Structure 1
């Protein structure tokens, strides 16, 4: 699949780039994408939730009333979970939600997501550029020139560019990542993928590693 390369003004440069067919031209595997997205979201969870159980609640351990002869149910101390202010029964405890995913499956899922975006015309390529200093205004002007205003844009660069990263960080609808850090969740979460020209080669290299 060939795609035209444009400059930061949104004008065609009169040349195109061939998107690697083994990355952008595969048959999307929806189940692999599902597993990769679930894996990513699970690993984002901190697992620091905690509720106090009966042994951790502050309160007297004195038995409220005698065991028999009252005609009502038996009770222990005031920390009993059925009382207001008592401990929580089977409350959440700190735990790790991290999971592992086969590396080959990750590649299949990522390529499936990229192919799906390419098939739907949601991939654009811009010539390599940088900013002299971090400037959200300048960065968003480029996004506007590319007619991507209002879109959820994921810009993929070949190498880490601090100025571009800081410039895009202030806009909730824009995210800048390196090609080597591109993952399935971010691809599927974006409306449009904007690749720097050098990032295409970076994705091909990541495939071979």
Structure 2
């Protein structure tokens, strides 16, 4: 797959060949994408939600009513869940929401996510994502000229500091290094913007995963 390369100023900067095995998949597997997004979001959950059980609430231990003669049930503690201020019977507990997902599925999902953007003609390749000064207004004008409104921008191995500082004030724009490329962020943004260095990094990432599998 061949795509045109542009500069931030909107000028032509040549062309680039993208691997069809990564960007040219015809049949996009929605089920694979859903599994991976669910896996990512589950890993992000803090899991720190908690309710106090009856052994953890601080209430009086005095017997509330007589054992016999009241005509009601026998109660020895106000910590019971049936009383106001008592502990929760089956409340949430601190736990990890993470679950396993095979590396093969994660790799496949990333390729399908990238291919879905290519299929929608929603991939833009930049020569480089760098600025001399962190000027949000100047970057916004560049984005406007390129037609970028809602995008995930993948830089090289490291994100240019001036570019990152200028972009963080623009809504619906995310900037990540190539190592941070993931399915969820690709799908949540309308356009995928990658630099030439990022394109090489993506190919190296898949080649490394392929070599590891072999």
Q: Could you say whether these structures have the same fold, taking a TM-score greater than 0.5 normalized by the shorter chain as the test? A: yes
The answer to whether the 8 A contact 1:10-1:147 is kept is no
Distance 1:129 1:52, change over 3 A: closer
**Residue 44 (structure 1) aligned with residue 44 (structure 2):** yes
The total of aligned residue pairs comes to 206
Could you list the structure 1 runs, at least 4 aligned residues long, displaced by more than 4 angstroms after superposition. Answer: none
The answer to whether the 8 A contact 2:63-2:77 is kept is yes
Q: Deviations over 1:19-56 (max 9, x none)?
A: 21011012322221111101110010111111111111
Instruction: Please show how residues 145-184 of structure 1 align to structure 2 within 5 Å.
Output: 145-148=145-148, 151-160=149-158, 161-184=160-183
**Residue 18 (structure 1) aligned with residue 17 (structure 2):** yes
Q: CA deviation at 1:4?
A: 1.4
The gaps in structure 2 that reach 5 residues or longer are 209-214
Instruction: Please show how residues 46-125 of structure 1 align to structure 2 within 5 Å.
Output: 46-125=46-125
Tell me the TM-score normalized by structure 1.
Answer: 0.92
1:84 partner SS: coil
Q: CA deviation at 1:194?
A: 0.9
What is aligned with 1:205? 204
Q: CA deviation at 1:16?
A: 2.0
Alpha-carbon separation, structure 2, partners of 1:50 and 1:171: 36
Alpha-carbon separation, structure 2, partners of 1:122 and 1:187: 11
The answer to whether the 8 A contact 1:29-1:108 is kept is no
Instruction: Please show how residues 134-145 of structure 1 align to structure 2 within 5 Å.
Output: 134-145=134-145
Q: CA deviation at 1:189?
A: 0.8
Q: CA deviation at 1:110?
A: 0.3
Q: Deviations over 1:36-82 (max 9, x none)?
A: 10111001011111111111111111111123322222322222211
Could you tell which deviates more after superposition, 127-136 or 115-124? Answer: 127-136
Alpha-carbon separation, structure 1, partners of 2:162 and 2:104: 33
Q: CA deviation at 1:91?
A: 1.2
